[in-house]
Amino acid sequence: MSSLTTGSPIHIGSRATRLGPLIKSGGAGSVYLLGDDPRSVAKIYHARVDPPSYTDRIEAMLQLRPKLPDQYEDGKRYVQIAWPDATVRDAQGRFVGFAMPALDVDATSELEQILQERQARAAGLPVGLGHKVTLAANLASVLAALHAQHHYVVDLKPVNLRFYRASLYIALLDCDGFSIQGRGRRFHAPQYTPDYLAPEYQIRALDEAGEETQDRFALAVVIFQLLNFGIHPYSGRPAYDRVPTDVPGRIRERCYAYSQRGNPMMAPNPVSGHALMPRELRDLFDRAFGDDPSQRPSSSQWSECLRAYAQPSRGLIVICANNREHQHYAGQPCAACVRHDLLNVTARTAAARPRPAPHARAPRPQPQARGWWRTAAPAQPAATAPPRLRVARPQPPMQWNPYYAPPAGPPSAPAPSRSGWRARLAGRVRALAALAAPLAFGYGASQVQRFYESLRVATRTPLDGWMNLILLTFLGAGFIALCYVFVIAIPRRLVRL
């Protein structure tokens, strides 16, 4: 079968038309405009992917369409889901693709772009908490309508989601890659992303019964990232070396560090704002990332909870008094301000740390010519003053690293080894001292004994007895000190020689 291109005749249902200009081309097919219907586009499958294999899937999607009609506000049309409207066949009547609503791509942005504040500012997107809560509520509502027809996204992640910048409505694309429920048959999703895959499916294959719980897990991950500065719920600071370093491994080991009970294996990210979330939201996250998959909140439960926070009239989210670009939960401090203060303190601390000065390498001596009859000898380097150490100017860190460790200093020079007459002299002194120490100790002990006997003979009155007792006390202390010198101090000194 030949591949269709711009201008090729096609049939959309019973209507004959031609393909318009190419919009984009992906792995499975290409999307074209339709000249006679600007509100629709056609997706034509590539010949290499076997288009007939998609026939039953598209027919099932046409029979069980989710209740997500287009929204109209101020004369603008917002397509919530690019679901098939009709099958597309070529001039010979063979199935080649499907027609779907035309999405205004220029008016939308990827959800990935709004997670990080710096990236959102660069793209001209809002950075406040209220906008992100609204996006999370809209995403949960769209998934709830999709799940009502028992269709599941499976590969749910921010990069696959788009939203309208003007209304914050969510738009779902590439719906033919979802897990589709047909009449008595299910068409499974062909792929998934490990960073958004539930723990139980990190160790075994995803089955049909677990596709909804997988969507619930991935939805909770996306909502957590939206409400917590783009931080993944399974990122943080590991407490042990055995904690996996990759996100899928941490999901498999259930290293969720942001629960209300804590996790002994992982500590939260220091700039996380999870502790300033309402108890209601934290309970939902703890259920979503807990050990029991059946306790994960459904998309409708998320939608009902977040819808209340997304309504300004409820007053559950208020404007920050210090920065009007920030919003925070009522009754809680501003998590964005706390995060900025912590990042600024960390940046100033890292910038104030001086950088080590580079070590100068000594020049290699070069041979000097002394005449053709003499052997050239290497010239001795001239004595130069040691280089002055300059303290590097404080520079802001390119990346913040909480595990910063200052670089190790240069290795110390080894002690010079003893050899020759010095080594022989040390050995002789050690031998003489070993012989003289016992003799000196014996002589000192005999003198102490004689002095003690003389004190006993000279005792005549009680006062003399008390004086002798005091002298004997000092004498005993001196004898103990003498024993320490000859028994401990002198042998140690002999060993060091």
Averaged over 47-58, what is the pLDDT?
Answer: 88
Backbone angles phi, psi at 237, to 5 degrees: -110, 115
Q: Which of 344, 337, 339 has its CA nearest to residue 323?
A: 337
Tokens linked to 102? 């035309």
**pLDDT band (50, 70, 90) for residue 395:** very low
Backbone angles phi, psi at 421, to 5 degrees: -65, -25
Cα separation values, 355 from 317, 403, 404, 410, 462, Å: 44, 17, 13, 14, 76
pTM of the predicted model as reported, rounded to 2 decimal places: 0.69
Please report the pLDDT score of residue 376 as a whole number.
39
Instruction: Kindly provide the b/e burial profile for residues 282-294, where b requires at least 16 CB atoms within 10 angstroms of the residue's own CB.
Output: bebbebbbeeebe
Spatial neighbors of 261 by CB under 8 A, at least 6 apart, are 286
Name the DSSP class of 290: S
Poorest-pLDDT segment among 83-97, 224-238, 386-400, 426-440: 386-400
Q: Does 410 score more than 60 pLDDT?
A: no
When computed from its CA atoms, the radius of gyration of the chain, rounded to whole angstroms, is 41
**pLDDT band (50, 70, 90) for residue 345:** confident
Highest-pLDDT range among 317-331, 362-376, 440-454: 317-331
CB contact at 8 A, 31 and 24 = yes
- What amino acid occupies position 27? G
Please report the pLDDT score of residue 434 as a whole number.
67
Q: Does 382 score more than 60 pLDDT?
A: no
Q: How far apart are CA 255 and CA 263, in angstroms?
A: 7
CB contact at 8 A, 309 and 137 = yes
**pLDDT band (50, 70, 90) for residue 194:** very high
Q: Does 495 score more than 70 pLDDT?
A: no
Domains of the chain: 1-65+83-102 (3.30.200.20), 104-344 (1.10.510.10), 423-496 (no CATH)
Average pLDDT, the chain: 82
Cα separation values, 471 from 184, 193, 454, 455, 468, Å: 110, 89, 12, 9, 5
Burial class (CB in 10 A: 0-12, 13-18, 19+), 154: buried
Burial class (CB in 10 A: 0-12, 13-18, 19+), 135: buried
- What amino acid occupies position 190? P
Compute, in degrees rounded to 10, the torsion defined by CA atoms 191, 196, 197, 199.
Answer: 170
Which of 69 and 464 is assigned the larger pLDDT? 69
End-to-end CA, the chain: 95
Please report the pLDDT score of residue 32 as a whole number.
96
Q: pLDDT of 433-475, one tens digit each?
A: 667 777 777 777 777 677 767 766 666 667 777 777 787 787 7
Burial class (CB in 10 A: 0-12, 13-18, 19+), 122: exposed
Q: Does 377 score more than 50 pLDDT?
A: no
Which of 413 and 5 is assigned the larger pLDDT? 5
Please report the pLDDT score of residue 413 as a whole number.
45
Spatial neighbors of 452 by CB under 8 A, at least 6 apart, are 472, 475
Instruction: Kindly provide the b/e burial profile for residues 379-398, where b requires at least 16 CB atoms within 10 angstroms of the residue's own CB.
Output: eeeeeeeeeeeeeeeeeeee
Coil vs helix vs strand at 333 = coil
Q: pLDDT of 265-310, one tens digit each?
A: 999 999 999 999 999 999 999 999 999 999 999 999 999 999 999 9
Which position has the token pair 């002198």? Answer: 490
Which of 398 and 340 is assigned the larger pLDDT? 340
Averaged over 13-34, what is the pLDDT?
Answer: 92
Poorest-pLDDT segment among 88-97, 205-214, 367-376: 367-376
Please report the pLDDT score of residue 365 as a whole number.
42
